Structure 1
Amino acid sequence: MHGRMRKAVAVLVSAGLIAALSLSGCAPKQTEGGGEGGGTEPKPGGSMSFYIGEPAYIDPYNAQETEGVQVTQALFDSLTAFDDFDATKVLPGAAESWESNADGSVWTFKLNPNGKFSDGTPVTAADFVYAWNRIANPNTVNTATGKPDPSVISYHLGFIKGFDEVTAEGSTVTEMSGLKAVDDLTLEVTLSQPFADFPYVAAHPSLGPVPKALVEGGVPTGSGETTIAYGEMPVGNGSFKMAEPWKHNQYIKVVRNDNYAGTKPYLDGVEFKIFKDPETAYTEFEAGNLDFTQIGEGKIKDAEGKYGTSEDGYTVNPGKQVLLGAEASTYYIIFNNATEPFNNADLRKAVTLAINRQAICDTVFEGTREPADNILPPPIAGYAQGAWVDSKYDVEAAKKALADAGYPEGKGLPELTLMFNSGGGHEKIMELVQADLKAIGINTKFESADFPVYLKQLDEGKHQIARLGWVADYPIAYNFLYSLFDSESGDNKSAYKNPAVDTGITEAVKITDDAARVAKFQEINTTIQADNPVAPVMFYKHHHVGSDRLNDFVFNALYLANFDKVWVADAAGAEK
């Protein structure tokens, strides 16, 4: 993803970039099956509470970090959705069907005729056209401030014809030519080039429809003629609706949307409780004041002993409450490939071979992370075990590569700067990396900054070695390989340039056969790993826990909760 923002310990992350050690991804809430099953009949009614940090936005036009997207995906249905237990499956969302022309350059979506916004207004194709143009237009006004506020997630729409014209500096064009509401229930999307994976993109939670009248005129609060800015109380077409305006730094409350076109949730509502950090949230959980949260640092094994571990890693049921499932996300070290000394491929190879990934996973994460042997994590189609052949701990090979780089035993190599964003627990990881590098003769010093400042430093190329994390917007290899390694990508923080990779990605997205497309991306991945532009360190896993009130509560590999299937044991049982 270009720059999804993640907030933990009040730290922002750009799109797929992850600032903290626990991260989030973006995946819709539908599922065809799977999970453990609670074993008893679901009860309708009741509510649950869910930990988030303070979101940057919950208006979908700029819902960019996982906290905001967590709320957005409860309020909105995008055109398509992912299965919770097989994210490679694309399921119907607001669209009941879709098709493309032969080369995948024109996509036609047929909307569910029963689709409505939570105020009862029918959802039409024009609502999607308006919503997507609003995201693309850099002059879009933030309804909360009344000032222009360009969306940082507009890159999701970059394949649509006319996107470049809308986003060009100084442009007066406000609508993408590739979007067309053929009729109320038919949306036609023309792309600037074939893109066989476009239905995955259409599942992003921020790409739902929005009602123009309420966005521009305000949302009625229910008390007289009073309205509130749309961004404070968004109206969507999802399974829940806002119960009241967002109480900043306190909570966001949503309730079941009785106008929802799909199967309605069991829950009456969800309260997103806002805390400053996971440790505070976990304390509240242990006090019985919260139903779902991250587990506090160093407390995973203790939590497993107290609450039991989920069998599938993603589903909470009483006595099986700790989630440790694999996430579609990777923690990695980047090198500045454009400047000395890391324009030297052998030096990059030496560093990646020197890192003891297993020690990091065991020491910092109690063995609940997996050493990364690929930039693509296991949930992504195209992952192959051991594909990044130098992402292993081999001190002797590291020393040889260092000598091949012209720095035998580190001689002649100046002290290097190892950068990371402050907060999020990264210093403990970097201390281990620092020791590993010293063992082969590379001396480093630390430099850290708050995440927004840190990202700016990376964008300006002011780094030698630095850390980042990436979580999938959608579970396809393109989302990693284009974002991190294409020379035109804004998220290519390593300044890696390989014309063969750029050309390969352009060719791969046009391949309509799924297996052939995945194979092409694997070929591109092999080309990238030979250059070692980055050093994959570990694959993230959940470290979350739910209360024993929750039954069949799913928190998927893309880091989104399914509030539609969960039920609580103490529900009143009112008719659904």
Structure 2
Amino acid sequence: MRHFWEEDMELTESKAGISRRGLLQFAIGSAVAVAAFGPGARIVMAQEGQVLKAINPAFNQDWSPLRGGGVPFRWNSFWNASAMYFNDKGEIQPYVLTEWAPNADFSVWTLKVSPDAKFADGSPITAADVKGSWELSSMPTTKNQRIDQVLSGVAGYAAVKDGTATDISGIVAGEGELVVTLAGPDPIFYQRLANHIAPIVKVSVARGADGNEVADWFLGANGATSGPFMMESADLDSGAVVWVPNPNFFGPAPKLARIELTAVEDNVTATEMLKSGKYQAHTELVTSTIVLDLGADFAAGPTIPTSQHFWFNASRAPMDDPKVREALILAVDRDGLIKASFPDGPHQKTDTVMNSVPGEDDASFTPFPYDPEAAKAALAASTYGGPEKLPKLMFVGISSPANEAAAQYIAEQWRQVLGISAVDMKPQQDQYSGPDQNAIQIFRDDVGTRVPDAASYLAGSIASGSGNAQGKMGGYKNDAVDALIAEALALPADDPNRSAKAQEAQRIFRDDFMFIPWYKQTMSRWATANVSGMEKNLDWQVFAPWNVSIS
């Protein structure tokens, strides 16, 4: 049996009091803790000064840990335990699940639940809680954005996802273990569980008799969460959320005494608040001058398997002409693109779809060159013959200062090299309507994977069944690309051909001229230099939140 902690658990004292209006608050002071969490709860005084004051970029009204995305998702690891997790080196670590083993063909997996795992009320986390948490995350009314990435291969998952069942038949919960039967072999299924998309919650509190999520179950003093911290209060109207240590966390005692989150939507204001020293962290600050404003340490971090690109919608004119797509790509100096958007970092230019996974380095891959003359020749050879007959080119996803700087640089390159002047930019597709809504040709968006695997990266970004191919690229499909990705996915994780086939698929995709490569993502700390332990993993999660402290 492996454990992810070495130190004894301690409990931090906080102030008592329970109220509910717009503000929900509950307490874990010594007397209340014994009553609410049992006599086994141990109380010690909090470390003086260990209060992390952080900034959230939105006034979120929904803090359910089961949404699989959104701004609140960034805080999931602080108050909810996952099945397993990856550290910052991409190494899988045990958590609620301590062991995992497949059968011979990787179609059935046996998972062991830690006997030490507990909820905040001191009750044990059971195999039934794990199964129920995954089922609850799969229910259509839960609206989990990424649950497909975790459970789509499990037998019976589809019936729960489409609302015709509430039980995933392929998951059987026993005494301290689960047996998971997949619809087909998956050598890296265990890696798909190592994230916070579907954290483990107390099913008897979070799930109703109809199988759906109980409204606001996570906001009360019910001890139903499982991470190192628990929510003390949430004033949704003012955007203030407070967490305090979980008295029954089954890992190391948290070093922080308190986390206070404040909503600030304006990036300039948030930057000044951080520079003042009164705030030490931000959920997600994306500006072109982040390093200059707050220092390299604030934005430093590992590169993760996520990349940002400009995708072409081949179902919309003029992107339905491959020569137009080729011209638009070759007309962009991508060295200048990264300098225009992130002149001081932390993100780095990339030439490829995938990065930060085995197989990233491919000596046979030829990057798109900056070639103005070839770009002009390609446009002249297109059905349009030149810039005069092109329809207006519309970008969407231009929703941050860095995104805007990049899009404007690309548009200026097209003007200078190709003579194209009819370009428009919009924030998000669902934020406007009218005749232009169905004419979008360029989507700025990220792609990536939550497992360190090249085949999975491409399956979720360029395979014809991916949301990116169906939506952003307008139904893109290349049979050769699909076949290579499918072959790669069937191979064991340590088979070198798994990465080799993915590399070949990426080379073929490159020749379809479907995107302008931009940058590979640095997973910024988004914390000032006096905060330690804020390093994140490939899932955008602080992987060891119990270690966060302030010097």
TM exceeding 0.5 = yes
Aligned to 2:82: 78
Give the match for residue 335 of structure 1.
312
Give the aligned partner of residue 315 of structure 1: none
Displacement, 1:404? 4.2
> Where does structure 1 lack aligned partners over 5 or more consecutive residues?
1-29, 33-42, 141-148, 219-226, 311-320, 570-576
Question: Structure 1 residues 456, 375: closer, same or farther in 2, change over 3 A?
Answer: farther
Give the match for residue 394 of structure 2: 418
Query: Partner of 2:374 in structure 1?
Result: 397
Instruction: Report the counterpart of residue 521 of structure 1 in structure 2.
Output: 502
Matching residue's letter, 1:190 = T
Task: Give 1:194 deviation, angstroms.
Answer: 1.3
Query: Which amino acid is the alignment partner of residue 418 of structure 1?
Result: M
Retained in 1: the 8 A contact 2:393–2:442?
yes
Partner of 1:165: 159
1:416 is matched by which residue type in structure 2? K
| Whole-angstrom CA distance in 2 between matches of 1:456 and 1:103 | 49
Aligned to 1:210: 201
Query: In the TM superposition, what whole-angstrom CA distance separates every residue of 1:384-409 from its partner, at most 9, and x where no partner exists?
Result: 2676524332223323333443555x
Structure 2 counterpart SS, 1:288: coil
Aligned to 1:244, the other structure's residue is in SS state strand
Deviations 1:220-269 (A, max 9, x none): xxxxxxx9821435832212111224544422211222312222222223
Question: Equivalents in 1 of 2:524, 2:435: separation in Å?
Answer: 28
Summarize the Cα distance change of 1:341–1:451 in structure 2 as closer, same or farther, 3 Å threshold: closer
> Could you tell me how far apart the structure 1 residues matched to 2:444 and 2:85 are?
31
Equivalent residue letter for 1:181: A
Tell me the amino acid that sits aligned with residue 156 of structure 2: G
Letter in 2 for 1:538: Y
Asked if 2 retains the 8 angstrom alpha-carbon contact of 1:330 and 1:540, the reply is yes
Contact kept? 2:338, 2:519, Cα under 8 Å: yes
Q: Which residue in the other structure is 1:174 paired with?
A: 166
Residue by residue over 1:521-554, the C-alpha shift from the partner in whole angstroms, topping out at 9 and shown as x without a partner, is 2222222222122221222335665334323442
Q: Write the letter of the residue equivalent to 2:395.
A: M
What is the deviation of 1:490? 2.5
Give the structure 2 partner of residue 12 of structure 1: none
| Cross-structure match for 2:546 | 564
CA distance in 2 between partners of 1:251 and 1:327 (Å)? 30
Q: Pick 1 or 2: higher relative contact order, CA cutoff 8 A, min separation 6.
A: 1
Q: 1:444 to 1:195 in 2, by over 3 A?
A: farther
What is the CA distance between 1:113 and its match in structure 2?
0.4
Moved more, 122-131 or 231-240: 231-240
1:301/1:366 contact within 8 Å kept: no
Distance 1:71 1:322 in 2: 18
Distance 1:197 1:442 in 2: 48
Q: Which residue matches 2:359?
A: 382
Letter in 1 for 2:517: P
SS at match of 1:487: coil
Looking at structure 1, the residues matched to 61 and 458 of structure 2 have their Cα atoms a distance apart, in angstroms, of 27
Note the alpha carbon deviations across 1:356-401, whole angstroms, 9 max, x for none: 1221221232241322211112x22321267652433222332333
What does residue range 46-125 of structure 1 map to in structure 2 within 5 Å? 46-54=50-58, 55=60, 57-65=62-70, 67-84=71-88, 86-87=89-90, 89-125=91-127
Q: CA deviation at 1:347?
A: 2.5
* Deviation (angstroms), 1:164: 2.1
Any idea what SS the aligned residue of 2:376 has? helix
Distance 2:207 2:219 in 1: 13
Q: Does structure 1 residue 187 correspond to structure 2 residue 151?
A: no
The 1:544/1:397 distance shift into structure 2, 3 A limit, reads farther
Alignment of 1:506-545 (within 5 A): 506-514=486-494, 515-541=496-522, 545=526
Q: Which runs of 5+ in 2 are unaligned?
A: 7-45
Equivalent position amino acid for 2:152 in 1: G
Match of 2:477 in 1: 497
More off after superposition, 73-82 vs 560-569: 560-569
Measure how far apart 1:217 and its partner are: 7.0
Aligned to 1:131: 133
Query: Does structure 1 retain, via aligned residues, the 8 Å contact 2:338–2:406?
Result: no
Counterpart position of 2:414: 437
TM superposition shift of 1:82: 0.3
Instruction: Report the Cα distance in structure 2 between the residues aligned to 1:345 and 1:51, rounded to whole angstroms.
Output: 44
Q: CA deviation at 1:329?
A: 2.3
**Distance in 2, Cα, partners of 1:517 & 1:345:** 29
Mean Cα displacement is larger for which, 245-254 or 189-198?
A: 245-254
Alpha-carbon separation, structure 1, partners of 2:171 and 2:262: 37
One of 229, 238, 241 as aligned partner of 1:252: 241
Helix, strand or coil at the partner of 2:136 = helix
C-alpha deviation, 1:502, in angstroms: 2.3
2:273 is the counterpart of 1:284: yes
- What RMSD in Å do the two structures reach over aligned CA positions? 3.2
Counterpart of 2:326 in structure 1 is 349
Q: Which segment is superposed worse, 399-408 or 174-183?
A: 399-408
Q: Which amino acid aligns with 1:162?
A: G
**Alpha-carbon distance between aligned partners in 2 of 1:550 and 1:200, rounded to the nearest angstrom:** 29
Q: Deviations over 1:119-160 (max 9, x none)?
A: 11110111111111112222x4xxxxxxxx533333222111
1:177-326 maps to which residues of 2 (within 5 A)?
177-183=169-175, 185-216=176-207, 229-233=216-220, 235-245=224-234, 247-293=236-282, 297=287, 299-303=289-293, 309-310=296-297, 321-323=298-300, 325-326=302-303
- Secondary structure of residue in 2 paired with 1:480: helix
Distance, in Å, in 2 between the alignment partners of 1:553 and 1:165 is 38
Given that 1:291 and 1:550 are in contact with CA atoms closer than 8 Å, whether structure 2 keeps it comes out as: yes
Paired AA for residue 84 in structure 2? T
**Aligned-partner SS, 2:206:** helix
Aligned equivalents of 1:95, 1:212: Cα separation in 2: 17
1:373 to 351, 372, 379: 351
Q: How many Å apart are 1:560 and its aligned residue?
A: 2.5
Contact 1:265–1:565 at 8 Å: present in 2 too? yes
Identical aligned pairs, as a percentage? 23
Tell me the distance in 2 between the aligned counterparts of 1:540 and 1:96.
Answer: 30
- Provide the rounded CA distance (Å) in 2 between the counterparts of 1:133 and 1:242: 23
Normalising by structure 2, report the TM-score.
0.80
User: What SS does structure 1 have at the residue aligned with 2:308?
Assistant: strand
Distance 2:434 2:276 in 1: 41
